[in-house]
């Protein structure tokens, strides 16, 4: 009896040590990822998440936590707006077009588009891709937000958006400033070069060949009805409300190729894996995407560098790990697409509230890496 009591005491001490030190108990990859997802969402009541993780040598893992609406939980087949992660796909499409000889990254705007007020025609396609053009961010102009509020159901043309561009931040190539306007202009160039919309280019070159059957481009394609409910602040600022059925045509047509894609976590993780694994573009094209411009915290995004549609996340964002990818936000959603180059791990996660935090995403990365180290 004393021997059994001693074993129980020793096990209790080991459990307390494990909990205090943050060491995870051994488990399958799926168990570890599910625990990380749930632990990260524990402090975010009322927020739902859909996630997918691809670990080399393992089947893709899909996980969800939290509500979509009422008593309906988030499910893995639900679509979310991925916001600015769209830029990553548009950048890859631009590289493919360059590889096909349809354009050059050194082409100036003036070769493809007419003159627009306060936009320097000497800006190159490369400078649009990595936000070194100096072109003004139209969302920084309060007047465009006022127009959205007046008529959220209005469909905007890219030329309409460019009317809200003010003076450039700096001459082309002489700094970094994140600006959705850069990708508005890229979308216009892609249409000019291909004679078709951005959606057609993405679908033909990437989505269909890679089997991404649950990814869509707003305003150019119909978005299926299985969209997660999204939540945001009420106009009075006193709480949150379901924004799912609020008119969003103005917003989606304004962001256009800077933030118009809807997808599932599974499709987004598969896209990430295909991009960094060399199935979407060539190695030389990926190397160009990973040619990062150094930036600072003052530049407004959580990155130490920005390539061609790819963020190089801040050191320590996930402790001890190099992280590439992109984050995004839209009406009532936050999304992450991450790649850990040292381990070949791809992660996608979407939350149905703009106040969603990255705890779960970081936890998924740590769980995947710890599993690989233990394997």
**Which of 3.40.710.10, 2.60.40.10, 3.40.50.1110, 3.40.50.300 would CATH assign to domain 26-374?**
3.40.710.10
Averaged pLDDT, 24-39: 87
Instruction: Check whether 10 has a pLDDT greater than 90.
Output: no
Sign of CA dihedral 359, 226, 158, 293: positive
Q: Is residue 316 very low, low, confident or very high in pLDDT (cuts 50, 70, 90)?
A: confident
Render pLDDT for 161-191 as a digit per residue (tens, 0 to 9).
Answer: 999 999 999 999 999 999 999 999 999 999 9
Pairing between β-strand 311-313 and β-strand 303-306 as defined by DSSP bridges: antiparallel
The most confident of the ranges 5-9, 15-19, 220-224 is 220-224
Q: Which residues pair with 363 in a beta bridge?
A: none
Residue 213 has pLDDT above 50, yes or no: yes
Structure tokens at 333: 């959603």
Residue 301 pLDDT grade (very low, low, confident, very high; cuts 50, 70, 90): confident
User: Tell me, what's the pLDDT at 237?
Assistant: 55
State residue 26's pLDDT score.
64
Specify the length of the chain in residues.
Answer: 375
Q: Is the dihedral of CA 294, 298, 303, 307 positive or negative?
A: negative
* pTM of the predicted model as reported, rounded to 2 decimal places: 0.91
Closest CA to 67 of 228, 264, 223, 224: 228
Predicted confidence (pLDDT) per residue in 98-130, tens digit: 999 999 999 999 999 999 999 999 999 999 999
Q: What is the mean pLDDT of residues 270-295?
A: 97
Q: What proportion of the chain, given as a percentage, has pLDDT over 90?
A: 81
For the record, the structure tokens of 59 come out as 């089947």
15 band by pLDDT with thresholds 50, 70 and 90: very low
List the Cα angle 197/198/204 in 5-degree steps. Answer: 95
Dist. CA 364–CA 361, nearest whole Å: 5
DSSP 157: P
Q: By the 8 A CB rule, do 373 and 366 touch?
A: no
Q: Contact 357/332 with Cβ under 8 angstroms? A: no
Would you kindly state where each structural domain of the chain is located, as residue ranges? 26-374
Determine contact, residues 231/240, Cβ cutoff 8 Å.
yes
CB of 308 closer than 8 Å to CB of 289: yes
Q: What percent of the chain has pLDDT over 70?
A: 90
pLDDT, tens digit, 9 for 90 and up, residues 325-334: 999 999 999 9
């Amino acid at each position: 009896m004393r021997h059994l009591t001693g074993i129980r005491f020793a096990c209790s001490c080991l459990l307390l040590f494990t909990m205090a030190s943050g060491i995870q108990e051994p488990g399958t990859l799926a168990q570890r990822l599910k625990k990380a997802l749930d632990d990260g969402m524990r402090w975010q009541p009322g927020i739902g998440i859909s996630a997918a993780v691809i670990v080399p040598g393992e089947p893709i893992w899909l996980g969800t936590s939290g509500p979509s609406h009422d008593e309906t939980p988030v499910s893995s087949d639900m679509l979310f707006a991925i916001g600015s992660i769209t830029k990553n796909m548009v950048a890859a499409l631009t590289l493919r077009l360059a590889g096909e000889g349809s354009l050059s990254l050194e082409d100036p705007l003036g070769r493809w588009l007419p003159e627009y007020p306060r936009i320097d025609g000497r800006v190159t396609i490369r400078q649009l891709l990595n936000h070194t053009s100096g072109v003004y961010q139209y969302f920084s102009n309060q007047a465009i937000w006022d127009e959205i509020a007046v008529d959220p159901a209005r469909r905007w043309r890219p030329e309409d958006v460019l009317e809200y561009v003010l003076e450039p931040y700096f001459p082309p190539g002489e700094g970094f400033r994140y600006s959705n306007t850069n990708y508005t202009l890229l979308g216009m160039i892609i249409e000019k070069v291909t004679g078709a919309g951005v959606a057609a280019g993405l679908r033909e070159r990437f989505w269909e060949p890679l089997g991404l059957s649950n990814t869509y481009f707003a305003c150019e394609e119909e978005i299926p009805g299985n969209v997660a409910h999204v939540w945001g602040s009420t106009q009075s600022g006193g709480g949150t409300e379901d924004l799912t059925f609020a008119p969003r045509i103005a917003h989606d047509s304004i962001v256009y190729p800077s933030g118009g894609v809807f997808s599932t976590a599974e499709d987004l993780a598969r896209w990430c894996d295909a991009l960094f694994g060399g199935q979407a573009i060539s190695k030389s094209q990926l190397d160009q995407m990973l040619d990062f411009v150094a930036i600072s915290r003052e530049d407004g995004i959580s990155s130490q560098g920005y390539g061609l549609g790819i963020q190089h996340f801040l050191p320590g964002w996930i402790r001890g790990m190099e992280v590439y990818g992109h984050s995004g936000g839209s009406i009532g959603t936050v999304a992450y697409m991450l790649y850990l180059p040292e381990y070949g791990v791809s992660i996608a996660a979407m939350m149905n509230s703009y106040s969603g935090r990255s705890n779960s995403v970081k936890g998924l990365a740590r769980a995947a890496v710890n599993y690989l180290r233990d394997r």
